[in-house]
């Protein structure tokens, strides 16, 4: 069996450090390990429109930003196909056919959709497109016969629902579709990076993100203003490292080499944590260290971004060619799907003969 990787993001804003540790880093690693036959990364503009119907300009603005973020973290267009969802029209056709295999009550039980409906205060005014986006996401995945789908934890119910649709399709018609598997980041802590304000999630709407495209001064300001342990008032006070976003970021990002380079008084994070917990270690010192660590991560990303910012036409071609290639693959699957569903009328010469037979006197 082939190993096909597919994943994507809604282009509702620039990507941030949470995206980086939670998924982008993992994608680059997958890309470079080359234990796969093909890898696709999709800018999910059609999905983003399911709850932004009256705000298409926001989506349009962010297509390029997300593409630049992808390229700047090191996704290589020679190894992966980057494409735009709405350019692949087979996806909407697949969605329409799969929707016959899903019940309203099953969609209502999808925990991710349930949660998102609550977050958006849709109540009785849920757009049908939003409600059914798990079906469209199944089309995204199955059109490429992806068996590996690297996602964040919140997407697990989506993948589960996709697996059910695949099984139902294959049972009802024939074995055309491939069941996908979710791949979560290995580092538990990276599943969800908290915001700089201590909120459980880094999120654009909360204004607590460090963006991959932030410049050095912006990063410095954000890090130096980060929420820490509110009870660690004086330097001598014992501090809490557990619910402290500064330490959570260090847990995810800091290496022993970072200590050697930027904070050689400590061998590693354990030593630093022990000192903070005992008391006598000020927040400013740790924040300065964290700033250097984040800069170490962001510098190469910024360099690559600069390169592509000077070559927007090249980025545009990457998306255009990627979308064309993705369309060809998805059209192939659509053809198989239609043939399994017996709606391939003009491809089936037997059908014409049968019809002719019917009216042969
Ligand atoms: N729902 C995903 C998100 O919000 C984006 C997405 C759309 C996706 N289609 C996909 C992810 C297919 C993986 C596979 O992040």
Mean pLDDT of all residues belonging to the chain? 95
State which of 44, 88, 112, 131 you would mutate to test the pocket of ligand 1, scoring each by most atoms of that ligand within 8 A of its C-beta: 44
How many angstroms separate the CA atoms of 358 and 345, rounded?
16
Cβ–ligand 1 distance for 241 under 6 Å, the answer no
Look up the CATH architecture of domain 216-308: Orthogonal Bundle (1.10)
Domain ranges of the chain: 4-192+312-354, 216-308
Q: How far apart are CA 314 and CA 317, in angstroms?
A: 5
What's the pLDDT tens digit per position in 55-88?
999 999 999 999 999 999 999 999 999 999 999 9
- Note if the pTM is more than 0.85: yes
Residue 32: exposed, middle, or buried by beta-carbon count in 10 A (0-12, 13-18, 19+)? exposed
Class of 4-192+312-354 per CATH? alpha beta
Pocket test residue of 47, 112, 116, 156 for ligand 1, highest count of atoms within 8 A of CB: 47
DSSP character at residue 193: P
Q: pLDDT tens-digit profile of 139-183? A: 999 999 999 999 888 899 999 999 999 999 999 999 999 999 999
Query: pLDDT grade, residue 200 (50/70/90)?
Result: confident
CA angle (36 as vertex; 48, 170 as ends), nearest 5: 65
Q: Ligand 1: does its nearest atom lie under 6 Å from the Cβ of 143?
A: no
Is there an atom of ligand 1 within 6 Å of 149 CB?
yes
Structure tokens belonging to residue 88: 């692949």
């Amino acid at each position: 069996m082939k190993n096909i990787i597919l994943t994507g993001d809604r282009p509702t804003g620039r990507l941030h450090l949470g995206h980086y540790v939670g998924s982008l880093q993992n994608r680059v690693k997958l890309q470079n390990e080359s234990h796969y036959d093909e890898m696709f990364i999709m800018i999910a503009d059609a999905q983003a429109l399911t709850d932004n119907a009256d705000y298409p300009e926001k989506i349009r603005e962010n297509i390029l930003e997300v593409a630049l973020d992808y390229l700047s973290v090191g996704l290589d267009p020679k190894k992966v196909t980057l494409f735009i969802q709405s350019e692949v029209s087979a996806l909407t056709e697949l969605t329409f056919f799969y929707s016959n295999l899903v019940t309203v009550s099953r969609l209502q039980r999808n925990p991710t959709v349930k949660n998102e409906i609550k977050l958006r205060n849709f109540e009785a005014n849920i757009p049908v497109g939003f409600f059914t986006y798990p079906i469209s996401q199944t089309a995204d995945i199955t059109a490429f016969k992806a068996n590996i789908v690297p996602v964040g934890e919140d997407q697990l119910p989506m993948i589960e629902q996709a697996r059910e649709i695949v099984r139902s399709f294959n049972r009802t018609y024939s074995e055309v579709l491939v069941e996908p598997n979710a791949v979560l980041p290995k580092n538990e802590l990276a599943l969800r990076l908290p915001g700089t304000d201590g909120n459980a999630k880094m999120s654009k709407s909360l204004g607590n993100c460090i963006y991959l495209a932030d410049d050095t001064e912006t990063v410095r300001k954000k890090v130096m203003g980060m929420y820490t342990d509110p009870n660690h008032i004086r330097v001598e006070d014992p501090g809490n490292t557990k619910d402290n976003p500064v330490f959570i970021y260090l847990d995810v990002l800091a290496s022993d080499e970072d200590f050697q380079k930027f904070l050689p008084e400590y061998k590693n994070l354990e030593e630093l944590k022990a000192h903070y917990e005992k008391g006598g270690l000020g927040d400013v010192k740790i924040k300065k260290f964290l700033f250097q660590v984040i800069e170490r991560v962001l510098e190469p990303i910024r360099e690559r971004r600069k390169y592509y910012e000077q070559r927007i036409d090249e980025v545009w071609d990457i998306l255009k060619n990627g979308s064309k290639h993705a369309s060809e693959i998805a059209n192939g699957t659509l053809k198989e799907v239609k043939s399994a569903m017996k709606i391939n009328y003009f491809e089936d010469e037997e059908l014409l003969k049968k019809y002719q037979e019917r009216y042969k006197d």
